[in-house]
Chains A and B, each alone.
Chain A
Amino acid sequence: MFRRYLAGFVVMAGLIGLTQLPKVVQSVDAQGQETAPGPAPTTAWGDPDLEGIWTRDSEEPLQRPSNFRDKEFFTDEERADLDRRRAEIIARDASRERRETNGRGTAEQDVGGAYNAEIYTSHLRLGRRTSMIVDPENGRLPDLAPRAKEEMAALIEFSLALKQSTEVCENALPSCRGGEFIATPSPRRNEMPPYYITARNGLPGGGGGVISRSDGPEDRGHGERCMSSTIPDFRGFRRIVQSKNQIAIFYDTGQGQGWHRTVPITDAPHLPANVRQWWGDSRAHWEGETLVVDVTNFSPKSNFNGAHENLHLIERWTRLDADTLEYTVRVEDPTTWVAPWTATHTMKKQEDQANRIYYEPRCHEGNYGMAALLVGARTDEATFARGEGEDPAKKCLGACGGFASGFADEGDDANPLR
């Protein structure tokens, strides 16, 4: 009973997902030797067969790391070196002394870094590609368009204002980068955010939350509201079940925030422009061996790397052989990037029978975290109003730093794939 109670927690859902390490289907001959995978199968009605549980068996960064500027592929030596450096970070001692490097650690960071990164980080080896992005040729996202720049700048400014009087800025930690410590809390703490808060893309700071405030659930962002899943998605598992006229894809992703997608194979037009959806509106057709899916009609509340309602995806799903599925997506949104870009990666087929997909996304059902964040903030306010305790404006409540990529005091700087 207690185990199930725990399993409801957002974090626990993630741990369960990670402890089920993928077992990739190996093509072996009668002597147990690995063989080349068989050809891509077809369905009973003659279409390419995409069915199965699929996931990555290596990790490739979306964007090319800055010190591999002109290289499309890592050498084996570079991969080994990077894997070693990443493993060192992941396995780094999580003792209290380490978390409080230079005496700069804070209580919030102590929580954010209370685990070593091991349990939050997949143990996948680096793949051969230096980036999933294959277009543009430099492997980097195109520049942000003016609208997206404006949105990001406004959100960074707002986020820093809310953190200005907290320990994070007082100690000049990475999550205050671009801001400064001002002891007086910002009046902006009483303002509505300049844009609908979604995710932390581009905003400084690791750990939970998007902004340092818990006035209501909207302040906490999509992740803590259990609504973070989006397409395209390059992580987690997906289960594909296929019929002649539609394809069902279950994405097991984001610590119990998985979602189900039904892709109709049709030449019917997209939904009317006023119908907007969190995961857009998909229309698929076959081009030779490839399922091509056109996705539009995204909601203004959806967020993929800063893109919202103008996002347009053209996905290409191709079964390369019995064990391999290639996913390529062309991403277009002239209000977010100055040019379209394309990313690609391959997934490996997982064993069917073991049903090793954590397929029930029950983040929301176990979201005790949201209630705790709001109750905690109200309690702090009431306590302070009675003349006791610390000014709540001095406490960082979101994007304060944490375990992401390393340790709180180093933030993204620690990531050799940055």
Chain B
Amino acid sequence: MVNRIKSGRKALVLATVMAVSVAGCTGAPQDGLAAVRTADGKPDFSGIWQANNEAHWDLQAHAARPGIVTQEGVYPYEYAEVPAAPVLALGAAGGVPGSIGVVDGDGEIPYKPETAVIKQANFDNWVDRDPELKCYLPGVPRAMYMPYPFSITQGAKQIQMAFTFSNAARVIHMDPETTGPPDFTYMGFSIARWEDDSLIVDTNMFNGRNWFDRAGNYHSEQLQLTEKLTLETPNLIRYEVTIDDPEVFTRPWTISMPLYRRMEPNAQLLDYRCIEFAEEFMYGGLRREQLVKRWESETMIIDVTRKVPPGERLHEWYGR
């Protein structure tokens, strides 16, 4: 699937990068930013924000596809696949929108040969492997561009980010002496500093169980992020991330995208407590009487194949 969408992508990505560069190089203080500065003169990121792109589907440029999981249709061609069982009942609402991608440069993610194989296997087994489907803490940077609003509260010593999905949160410490957590984490450990008007956040201590997107892009616990947040206008954060993980990638690579302020005067975060949404998915097969059955008569019968991949900790553990 990844190979299939290569053609025509590079030109689009290049155009995007150039556009980003032009916008990012204006340098001088931006009009209207005086209104969004803290008492000590720093840009104030406080508010409700949201990405407005397709990065949560796939960081890389891709054509629209009929579903996040597809199967062979009438023709044996990859480009003629049809939605597979897990999304079939959703019709046109189950498709994946195309994207110009958010990976800078040539748009490639520099996997090693052996890790590229894992990425492809992740893609091919999305339903079974993506931690998002289980409502696990989404990790960083994924939480920053999931299709839900998130909140930034900028305090004197910390910046707190709260995410709609899974009620996840991250604390960004402004005091460089702050000690890290006692353990590796899903959401990382973040220490930030100011470089001119940009907030530079160094984030590490990941447990390596998160993905970047729904296309199987992944990282290990070696992940080291350098995030740069720049308030370009009162309502737009330029978000740039350098991703370094020598266990998975041959070199650091970067993604960039705008994050937009939610402009509704009453914008606020609402619950998305997805643990209960994922219980049927995770434990439905362990019920005394299973709720998902083959439907009969005129009602659609859906056989959902949910394979348990080798190495899936929870299932291997309880299946002993």
Q: Are A and B genuine complex partners?
A: yes
* A residues neighboring B (CB under 8 Å): 3-4, 7, 16, 20, 43-45, 49, 51, 214-218, 225-227, 239, 241-248, 250, 259-262, 264, 266, 268, 271, 275, 277-279, 299, 352-355, 358-362, 364-365, 368, 370-372, 374-375, 377-378, 381
Is there an interface contact between A354 and B179, defined as CB atoms closer than 8 Å?
yes
Q: Which chain B residues (240-273) contact chain A, with CB distance < 8 Å?
A: 265-266, 268-271, 273
Is there an interface contact between A216 and B283, defined as CB atoms closer than 8 Å?
yes
Give bound CA distance, A277 to B269, whole Å.
Answer: 11
Is there an interface contact between A362 and B137, defined as CB atoms closer than 8 Å?
yes
Check: B69 CB closer than 8 A to any chain A CB: no
Ordered by A's residue number, 20 sampled pairs between the chains whose C-beta atoms are within 8 Å are A16-B183, A51-B158, A239-B158, A241-B153, A241-B154, A241-B158, A242-B155, A247-B153, A248-B153, A260-B160, A260-B168, A260-B169, A352-B157, A355-B173, A364-B135, A365-B136, A365-B186, A368-B317, A371-B317, A375-B286
The residues of A that contact B156 with a CB separation of less than 8 Å are: 43-44, 49, 51, 242
Is there an interface contact between A241 and B159, defined as CB atoms closer than 8 Å?
yes
Give bound CA distance, A165 to B271, whole Å.
Answer: 40
Give bound CA distance, A377 to B287, whole Å.
Answer: 9
Determine the residue in chain B with the shortest Cβ distance to A215: B288
- In the complex with contacts A43-B156, A215-B287, A374-B287, A7-B183 CB distance below 8 A: yes
The 4 A-B pairs with the shortest beta carbon distances in the complex, nearest first, are A44-B39, A374-B286, A248-B153, A241-B155
Is there an interface contact between B287 and A260, defined as CB atoms closer than 8 Å?
no
Give bound CA distance, A360 to B186, whole Å.
Answer: 8
**Is chain B's interface secondary structure helix, strand, loop, or mixed overall?**
loop
Given contact pairs A243-B154, A381-B288, enumerate 18 new A-B contacts (beta carbons under 8 Å).
A3-B183, A51-B158, A214-B288, A216-B287, A217-B283, A225-B276, A227-B275, A227-B276, A241-B171, A246-B153, A247-B153, A248-B153, A248-B169, A260-B162, A279-B271, A365-B137, A365-B209, A374-B287
Q: State the Cβ distance, B31 to closest chain A Cβ, in Å.
A: 21
Check: B44 CB closer than 8 A to any chain A CB: yes
Is there an interface contact between A368 and B151, defined as CB atoms closer than 8 Å?
no
Determine the residue in chain B with the shortest Cβ distance to A370: B283
Check: B309 CB closer than 8 A to any chain A CB: no
The residues of A that contact B113 with a CB separation of less than 8 Å are: none
Give bound CA distance, A246 to B151, whole Å.
Answer: 9
- In the complex with contacts A278-B273, A355-B178, A371-B318, A259-B153 CB distance below 8 A: no
Contact of B155 among A218, A243, A353 (CB under 8 A): A243
Is there an interface contact between B181 and A262, defined as CB atoms closer than 8 Å?
no
Check: B78 CB closer than 8 A to any chain A CB: no
Check: B185 CB closer than 8 A to any chain A CB: yes
Is there an interface contact between B183 and A371, defined as CB atoms closer than 8 Å?
no
Contact of A246 among B46, B137, B171 (CB under 8 A): B46
The residues of B that contact A243 with a CB separation of less than 8 Å are: 44, 46, 153-155
Give bound CA distance, A243 to B178, whole Å.
Answer: 20
Is there an interface contact between A250 and B171, defined as CB atoms closer than 8 Å?
yes
Q: State the Cβ distance, B180 to closest chain A Cβ, in Å.
A: 7
Is there an interface contact between A364 and B275, defined as CB atoms closer than 8 Å?
yes
The residues of B that contact A218 with a CB separation of less than 8 Å are: 279
Q: State the Cβ distance, B10 to closest chain A Cβ, in Å.
A: 38
Proximity bits, B102-114, A CB within 8 Å = 1, else 0: 0000000000000
Contact of B318 among A259, A268, A368 (CB under 8 A): A368
Check: B40 CB closer than 8 A to any chain A CB: yes
Contact of B167 among A45, A239, A260 (CB under 8 A): A260
Check: B175 CB closer than 8 A to any chain A CB: yes
Is there an interface contact between B151 and A262, defined as CB atoms closer than 8 Å?
yes
Determine the residue in chain B with the shortest Cβ distance to A356: B179
Q: State the Cβ distance, B194 to closest chain A Cβ, in Å.
A: 16
* B residues neighboring A (CB under 8 Å): 38-40, 44, 46-47, 134-137, 151, 153-160, 162, 167-169, 171, 173, 175, 177-187, 207, 209, 265-266, 268-271, 273, 275-276, 279, 282-283, 286-289, 314, 317-318
Q: State the Cβ distance, A359 to closest chain B Cβ, in Å.
A: 6
Contact of A241 among B160, B167, B175 (CB under 8 A): B160
Is there an interface contact between B187 and A374, defined as CB atoms closer than 8 Å?
no
The residues of B that contact A371 with a CB separation of less than 8 Å are: 282-283, 286, 314, 317-318
The residues of B that contact A299 with a CB separation of less than 8 Å are: 271
The residues of B that contact A242 with a CB separation of less than 8 Å are: 153, 155-156
Q: State the Cβ distance, B235 to closest chain A Cβ, in Å.
A: 15
Is there an interface contact between B185 and A217, defined as CB atoms closer than 8 Å?
no
Q: State the Cβ distance, B160 to closest chain A Cβ, in Å.
A: 4
Give bound CA distance, A348 to B130, whole Å.
Answer: 41
Is there an interface contact between B175 and A352, defined as CB atoms closer than 8 Å?
yes
The residues of A that contact B135 with a CB separation of less than 8 Å are: 364
The residues of A that contact B169 with a CB separation of less than 8 Å are: 248, 250, 260, 359
The residues of B that contact A259 with a CB separation of less than 8 Å are: 167
Among A7, A248, A375: residue with most chain B CB under 10 A: A248
Contact of A4 among B187, B207, B314 (CB under 8 A): B207
Is there an interface contact between A360 and B187, defined as CB atoms closer than 8 Å?
yes
Among B47, B162, B289: residue with most chain A CB under 10 A: B162
Contact of A248 among B160, B279, B286, B287 (CB under 8 A): B160
- In the complex with contacts A44-B39, A44-B40, A241-B153, A250-B283 CB distance below 8 A: no
Contact of A262 among B155, B173, B269, B287 (CB under 8 A): B269
Determine the residue in chain A with the shortest Cβ distance to B319: A375
Determine the residue in chain B with the shortest Cβ distance to A214: B288
Is there an interface contact between A226 and B157, defined as CB atoms closer than 8 Å?
no
Determine the residue in chain A with the shortest Cβ distance to B284: A216
Give bound CA distance, A244 to B46, whole Å.
Answer: 8
The residues of B that contact A381 with a CB separation of less than 8 Å are: 288
The residues of B that contact A239 with a CB separation of less than 8 Å are: 158, 160, 171
The residues of B that contact A355 with a CB separation of less than 8 Å are: 173, 178-181
The residues of B that contact A246 with a CB separation of less than 8 Å are: 46, 151, 153
The residues of A that contact B183 with a CB separation of less than 8 Å are: 3-4, 7, 16
Give bound CA distance, A365 to B210, whole Å.
Answer: 11
The residues of A that contact B265 with a CB separation of less than 8 Å are: 268
Give bound CA distance, A278 to B167, whole Å.
Answer: 11
Is there an interface contact between B271 and A278, defined as CB atoms closer than 8 Å?
yes
Give bound CA distance, A359 to B179, whole Å.
Answer: 13
Give bound CA distance, A261 to B160, whole Å.
Answer: 11
The residues of A that contact B134 with a CB separation of less than 8 Å are: 364
Q: State the Cβ distance, A196 to closest chain B Cβ, in Å.
A: 11
Is there an interface contact between A277 and B270, defined as CB atoms closer than 8 Å?
yes
Give bound CA distance, A245 to B160, whole Å.
Answer: 14
